[in-house]
Amino acid sequence: MGLLFGTDGIRGIANTYPITCEVALKTGRAIGLFTKEKGHTAVIIGKDTRISGDMLESAIAAGVASTGVDVLLAGVIPTPGVAYLCLAIKNAGAGIVISASHNPYQDNGIKIFKSGGEKLSDKQEDKIEEYILNSKKVSQGKVGKISIISDSLKQYTDFLLTKFPFKKLDKKLKLIIDCSNGAASKISHMVFNNLLFDANFLFDSPDGKNINKDCGSQHTKELKTRVLKEKADIGLAFDGDADRLIAVDEKGNEISGDRIIAVCAKFANTNGNLNQNIVVSTIMSNIGLSKMLYNEGIQHLKADVGDRKVLEQMKKSGAVIGGEDSGHIIFLDSHTTGDGILSALKLLEVMIETDKSLSSLAAVMQIYPQVLKNVNLPASYPDLMRNKMVVDTIQIIEDKLGDKGRVLIRYSGTQPLLRVMVEGPDQGLIDEYCVLICESIKTVLKDEL
């Protein structure tokens, strides 16, 4: 990661560095130059529903246009919708999404896709960051045109639905859909339409400040209540930019990303559609996913945290299904990036084709109890993974867990934190084990600093 780019673009509090109009203008200019160098003539800009989105959109668009590159405004659209447009519009050299995903409305961010709909490589991010920070000058002359893609949502809806020729059922599946007052608010009505489904919608009235507020993929309490009250077949919760999906089964149980991956992987494998017989997840995925895939004869590869790392591993191995427990799931035979609405359609396809309830399908994977604690780190600190006390404590706990659990220690990529995760068959024990590891780390920090 550089000075501006984190694990998923540039992110921060809107109107505070680096999410300012000044940086947005320079970012637009940098992406315009990047686009010209690649021989393309246009950049697509999409956004979620945050109040700061219009402000940042204007600044980024001005920056792009100042390089002589045209700007195509897609309006409020899911992040994977911009990725699709980068693939569909031939002269598009990049796509920019103004969103802070599942964060509160005060935050915002800038995500970038290259031509073809994939996220930038680390080297490409470094190059754009260099342009931004050094304010590479633009030769005077041609100015790009800024125009609106009036049918961006229709184009994206058609792309999604043509991949799923759902048969009209005698009895439509009853859906409750939480749009998180975000980018899914309008397009969800178009995709999950009444010709195919009996759908009711929650949190689909964005006002610029209510995105992700007590709703969406990270706050499913209201969705669970409505699924039970309405006797729905399934609940679907998206995050602010609709690239994540968390489901709720007909019994009101939350079905997170790992179990959605498990359900879809088993279905694909049964039907001969799991290329290379491989599934990719991250090192943070529940141990239950590994055991389920092993039992199904499916190879399980683990990438570092982040959807870009998952995608890299998928492309190397030829896998077509991968993702994170957070609900960011990639179906590489259908799209170039993680897509919450696409994931929902894939899950519904399994339910329809197998004629099974979500609870029965999700039972294929046992969830192991997991606890995650953070240890705050000072500005400077020793290499804790080389300290004998810490290493010995971890080894003792790993020996006690055996093959029924695991310990994972990792430094945060965005904050001064050490994350300690313990997983095992008993919640009480893993809580105790996690505290022991954290205390050993704190003792070392206290003694050595």
CA dist 200 and 205 (Å) reads 13
Q: CA 186, 188, 190, 191: dihedral to nearest 10 degrees?
A: 160
- DSSP for 298-325 reads -EEEEE-SSHHHHHHHHHHHT-SEEE-T
Q: In the sheet where 70-76 sits, what is the strand order?
A: 10-13, 107-114, 92-98, 42-47, 70-76, 146-148
List Cα–Cα distances, 267 to 18, 140, 208, 348, in angstroms: 44, 56, 39, 12
CA dist 158 and 17 (Å) reads 38
- DSSP for 387-418 reads -HHHHHHHHHHHHHHGGG-EEEEEE-SSSSEE
Q: Is 373 helix (H, G, I), strand (E, B) or coil?
A: strand
CA dist 397 and 98 (Å) reads 43
Question: 257-270 and 287-295 are packed helices; what angle lies between their axes, rounded to 10 degrees?
Answer: 10
Tokens for 144, please give them.
Answer: 């790009």
Mark whether 101 is an active-site residue. yes
Q: Which element (helix H / strand E) includes 424?
A: none
| C-beta separation of 98 from 46 below 8 A | yes
CA dist 449 and 381 (Å) reads 7
Instruction: State phi, psi for 420 to the nearest 5 degrees.
Output: -115, 120
| C-beta separation of 222 from 178 below 8 A | yes
Q: How many CA atoms lie within 13 A of 173 on its CB side?
A: 28
Looking at 52, 66, 101, 256, which residue is catalytic? Answer: 101
Active site residues: 101
